């Protein structure tokens, strides 16, 4: 099978971690008789330096005409003072909009080899954490009307949190389909005891649940979810929620694994096109030192294989290769433990690629 991948290395450690993900994809291609055609696009600060914008129209068209997008990271202190409309992060919002990427999948998986790195007690995480947060990405308060005005002599700020039935239904279907591919257990997170948007959210989710009788479905309030993620995260399999709640909860969940360098993500459209990236930033303090952890990016590539290319066996092979590297004691600096083998970014990429048979 032949696939065209838009590769957006970006800034900071982006090029380093992307190189290791491409190395892993190349090994998958050889082992499973696929062909991956990579088209490289500048994004973020490096694009601002070259072209004066965080992504060019040509670069955007390459993304739109590819089978999938693989992103490293954007931004850094160098571009802190550029005009707000061309900040590096604006490119990410533009790509999400142009590619209609409305569903953000954020897996949180604690590898048992790294249980000691979690801030939670071993008796809580001893059986491992393996959950996915499905976040609606293009609606809600982040995209609603906003204004600041003077009323009765003082400033009053207003942010509107709109959601339509169709927006809720499409993210709900992604969540149920994700649950069907995993443990068939879905919890929908809302604030239905207060918000009208949440009451509509719950109504649509209940309607969808009738179409998926094989999925064990439940409702949970967002404040209780935040508590339960700390108290007993292993109870969750798939969580689905709106944009702002998902933003907050996914960041909370990411810390349960002990290192943000291990965390992949996927942003999906209604078709097969998606953008895949690690959740961490550009880490300019270690850029160019060959010290970054590429595992989050490599696992993002595995998500690409699974969700955009319908290659579950190949995705499994990548995840098993990562697991074997950890079993064999290889660690980058952010996850280093006493008695383990410290490796560089490229060395970790080599180990994982070589583990794919």
Q: What is the pLDDT, as a whole number, of residue 172? A: 98
Can you say how many angstroms the Cα of residue 203 is from the centroid of all Cα atoms in its chain?
27
What is the predicted pLDDT for the residue at 257?
A: 85
Active site residues: 142, 191, 223, 247, 251
Distance from chain centroid for Cα 66: 19
DSSP result, 83-112: -GGG-TTHHHHHHHHHTT--EEEEEEEE-G
Please tell me the distance from the alpha carbon of residue 258 to that of residue 110, in angstroms, as a whole number.
Answer: 8
Cβ(335)–Cβ(294) below 8 Å: no
Torsional class of 128: left (φ above 0), alpha (ψ -120 to 50), beta (otherwise):
left
- Total residue count of the chain as it appears in this document: 357
Distance of CA 336 to the CA centre of its chain: 23
Contact 167, 201 (CB under 8 A): no
pTM over 0.85: yes
- pLDDT by residue for the chain (357 residues), tens only, comes to 999 999 999 999 999 999 999 999 999 999 999 999 999 999 999 999 999 999 999 999 999 999 999 999 999 999 999 998 899 999 998 998 899 999 999 999 998 888 888 888 888 887 789 999 999 999 999 989 999 999 999 999 999 999 999 999 999 999 999 999 899 999 999 999 999 999 999 999 999 999 999 999 999 999 999 999 999 999 999 999 999 999 999 989 988 987 889 999 999 998 889 999 999 999 999 999 999 999 999 999 999 999 999 999 999 999 999 999 999 999 999 999 999 999 999 999 999 999 999
Q: Which two tokens stand for residue 33?
A: 């008789």
If DSSP codes are grouped into helix, strand and coil, which group holds residue 242?
Answer: coil
CA distance 309 to 317: 14
Which helix (DSSP H) or strand (DSSP E) does residue 20 occupy?
A: helix 14-32
Q: Tell me, what's the pLDDT at 90?
A: 92
For the purposes of burial, counting CB atoms within 10 Å of the CB of 152, is it exposed (0-12), middle (13-18) or buried (19 or more)? Answer: exposed
d(CA 218, CA 98): 33
- Domain layout of the chain by residue ranges: 1-118+258-357, 126-246
C-alpha closest to that of 171 among 100, 107, 225: 100
Which CATH number applies to 1-118+258-357?
3.40.718.10
> The tokens of 114 are what?
């790294």
Output the pLDDT for position 249. Answer: 96
pLDDT at 69: 98
CATH-assigned architecture of domain 126-246: 3-Layer(aba) Sandwich (3.40)
b/e sequence 207-221, b meaning 16+ C-beta within 10 Å: ebbeebeebebeeeb
């Amino acid at each position: 099978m032949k696939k065209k991948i838009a590769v957006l290395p970006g800034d900071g450690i982006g090029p380093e971690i992307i190189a290791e993900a491409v190395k892993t994809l190349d090994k998958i291609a050889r082992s499973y008789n696929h062909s991956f055609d990579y088209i490289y696009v500048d994004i973020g600060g490096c694009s601002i330096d070259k072209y004066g914008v965080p992504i060019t129209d040509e670069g955007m068209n390459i993304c739109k005409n590819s089978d999938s997008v693989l992103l490293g990271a954007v931004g850094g202190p160098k571009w802190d003072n550029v005009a707000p409309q061309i900040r590096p992060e604006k490119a990410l919002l533009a790509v999400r909009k142009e590619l209609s990427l409305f569903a953000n999948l954020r897996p949180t998986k604690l590898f048992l080899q790294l249980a000691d790195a979690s801030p939670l007690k071993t008796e809580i995480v001893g059986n491992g954490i393996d959950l996915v947060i499905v976040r609606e990405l293009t609606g809600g308060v982040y995209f609603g009307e906003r204004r600041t005005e003077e009323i009765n002599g003082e400033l009053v700020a207003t942010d509107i949190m709109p959601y339509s039935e169709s927006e809720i239904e499409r993210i709900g279907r992604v969540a149920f389909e994700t649950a069907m591919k995993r443990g068939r257990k879905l919890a929908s997170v809302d604030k239905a005891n207060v918000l009208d948007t949440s009451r509509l959210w719950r109504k649509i989710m209940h309607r969808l649940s009738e179409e998926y009788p094989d999925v064990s479905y439940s409702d949970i309030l967002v404040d209780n979810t935040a508590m339960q993620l700390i108290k007993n995260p292993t109870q969750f399999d798939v969580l689905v929620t709106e944009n702002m709640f998902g933003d907050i909860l996914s960041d909370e969940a990411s810390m349960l694994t002990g290192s943000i360098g291990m965390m992949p993500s996927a942003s999906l459209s209604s078709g097969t096109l998606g953008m895949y990236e690690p959740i961490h930033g550009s880490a300019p303090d270690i850029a160019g030192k060959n010290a970054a952890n590429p595992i989050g990016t490599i696992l993002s590539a595995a998500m690409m294989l699974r969700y955009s290319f319908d290659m579950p066996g190949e995705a499994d092979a990548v995840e098993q290769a990562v697991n074997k590297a950890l079993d064999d004691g290889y660690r980058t600096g952010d996850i280093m433990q006493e008695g383990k083998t410290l490796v560089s970014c490229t060395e970790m990429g080599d180990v994982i690629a070589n583990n794919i048979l």
